[in-house]
Structure 1
Amino acid sequence: MSAWLGFFKKEWTESVKSYKLLLTILIFSVLGILNPFTAKITPAIMENFMPEGTVLNLPEPTALDSWLQFYKNFPQMGLFIFILLFSTMMSKELEKGTLVILLTKGLRRSTVITAKFATGFSYWTLAFMLTFIITYSYTAFYWDQTIVQHVFLAAGCVYVFGLLLFTITLWGNTYFASAYGGLLVTVIAVITLFIIAIFPETASWNPLQLLTSPPRMLTGEVALKEMRTPCIIAISALFVFLLATIFHFNKKRL
């Protein structure tokens, strides 16, 4: 256990020195502010860009508009930025050969993978909570949130999906020993899920529902029980990819 904690501390220290912590705090705090801000100023912006004399009867923004911005900005920008930030988690050390020294001193290979996963997990949790809490706070300040349903559970779906994508990236990063390999595997996985989603009968289990359904959960269009199976499959796939990463790294020649 001490070896695991020591390696985890090393990973965390290196991430702080490489400004990952600072970038995570800055980027995801800005995203959190951006969601309610965009919802609030959008009507004014649209009025300014319309021809003079044109009258727009735009409804007043509500808490729902703020959360819809959250589910637009966070998956499209936040998730992409996070995966990009941690796309070299394994490949950088594999290319430099820095892990060989530690492994020859008795460090277990499974310790390397689980500690790196724990680091990514910690950062993803921090990034997600920053954006969510800031969005929630500003939305509650400006609007009544009682019209929005299942705020926390809908957000949890996106959280699980992001963690799945990070695990897939870690597997690809380890398997191909390059940042591009990890990103390519993740892109292929997302494209595959979108292709599967073309067939309506897959909606009941496709993990992509965790990303696309939360906006409709807020209005009650999607029942909570409909998300149970996609969530279970996503978590199961997460553990499969994590175990596959450990298995492959145990067999990998360095």
Structure 2
Amino acid sequence: MTQWTVLYRKEMLEMARNYKILWIPIVFILLGVMQPVSSYYMPEILDTFGGLPEGTILEMPVPTGGEVLMAVLSNYGMLGVLILVLSAMGVVSAERQSGAAGMVMIKPVPYSSYILSKWAGLLTITLLSLFIGYAASWYYTKILIETVAVGQVFQSAAIYSIWLIFVVTLTLFFSTVMKGNASAAFLTILVAFGLSTVTSFLEKYMKWSPAAMTEHTGQVLLSGELDSSFLPALITTIAIIIVILISSIQIFKQKELLK
């Protein structure tokens, strides 16, 4: 058994002990299910709690299945990202503070194995939560609204997962750089939401941006097609993720050598 495998199993065991492997997917399921349910029952909700005059007839257009799933991914882009960042903010910094990282590195363990095992653990919980939650939202959308082709659902989830992988990689990087958990979370959220905002306002010039992945998921859900800007954005995002990982390893190595 390789050192990386041992470290990865340690990460997954730690997630099981603090119930992250349970509660994060449950939160994603709830976020996913709430959207189709609220979309379907919105007229009744407004009629009951909206304070409308008696006799008012409220006609609201029922959203398409693709629009509902787009709204689900939008929820993941806000609350889902926030939950992932807060749950991962101490992945490296907390172990450095407690001295656990130093004890692991005495073995000795390659710095790359340590960082990449952390990254793999974060990816496991992120992708598990996304696909389980998104599958639940698709199921309820199919029952309450209309069916969406499985191919489109899977493709949109795969594309959106690239954005979430970028976010958790960024979290790992700032957790390696910063001493405090809160500062790592703050910087990750600042960069992620800042990049999303800039990309939405300067869409013409930011087609390469990792945040553009969220736009491509909408294209797949609504039209079933991707435009020509998807491939450059995909290549750029993967390249940035690799650079961030390499930088995290090098920075962690320097910080450990200073201790």
After TM superposition, the score normalised by the length of structure 2 is: 0.88
Aligned to 1:159: 161
Q: CA RMSD in A?
A: 2.3
Kept in 2, the 8 Å contact 1:90–1:177? The answer is no
CA distance in 2, matches of 1:195, 1:51: 42
Residue 245 of structure 2 corresponds to residue 242 of structure 1: yes
Aligned to 2:83: 81
Q: Matched residue of 1:8: which SS?
A: helix
Kept in 2, the 8 Å contact 1:64–1:148? The answer is no
| Residue type at the aligned position of 1:171 | F
Aligned to 2:102: 100
Q: Matched residue of 2:222: which SS?
A: coil
Q: Note the C-alpha offset of 1:147.
A: 8.0
Residue 208 of structure 2 corresponds to residue 205 of structure 1: yes
Unaligned runs of 5+ in 2: none
Change (3 A) 1:125 1:221: closer
Q: Note the C-alpha offset of 1:187.
A: 2.6
Aligned to 2:8: 8
| Residue type at the aligned position of 1:174 | T
Residue correspondences, number: 254
Q: Note the C-alpha offset of 1:251.
A: 1.5
CA distance in 1, matches of 2:145, 2:134: 16
After TM superposition, the score normalised by the length of structure 1 is: 0.90
Aligned to 2:134: 132
Kept in 1, the 8 Å contact 2:39–2:68? The answer is yes
Kept in 1, the 8 Å contact 2:40–2:145? The answer is no
Q: Which moved more, 1:157-166 or 1:40-49?
A: 40-49
Kept in 2, the 8 Å contact 1:149–1:220? The answer is no
| Residue type at the aligned position of 1:225 | S
Aligned to 1:194: 197
Change (3 A) 1:31 1:192: closer
Change (3 A) 1:221 1:23: closer
* 1:15-41 Cα shifts (integer Å, max 9, x gaps): 211121121232122223212212211
| Residue type at the aligned position of 1:155 | A
Aligned to 1:226: 229
Q: Which moved more, 1:135-144 or 1:35-44?
A: 135-144
Q: Note the C-alpha offset of 1:66.
A: 2.5
Q: Which moved more, 1:114-123 or 1:2-11?
A: 2-11
| Residue type at the aligned position of 2:237 | A
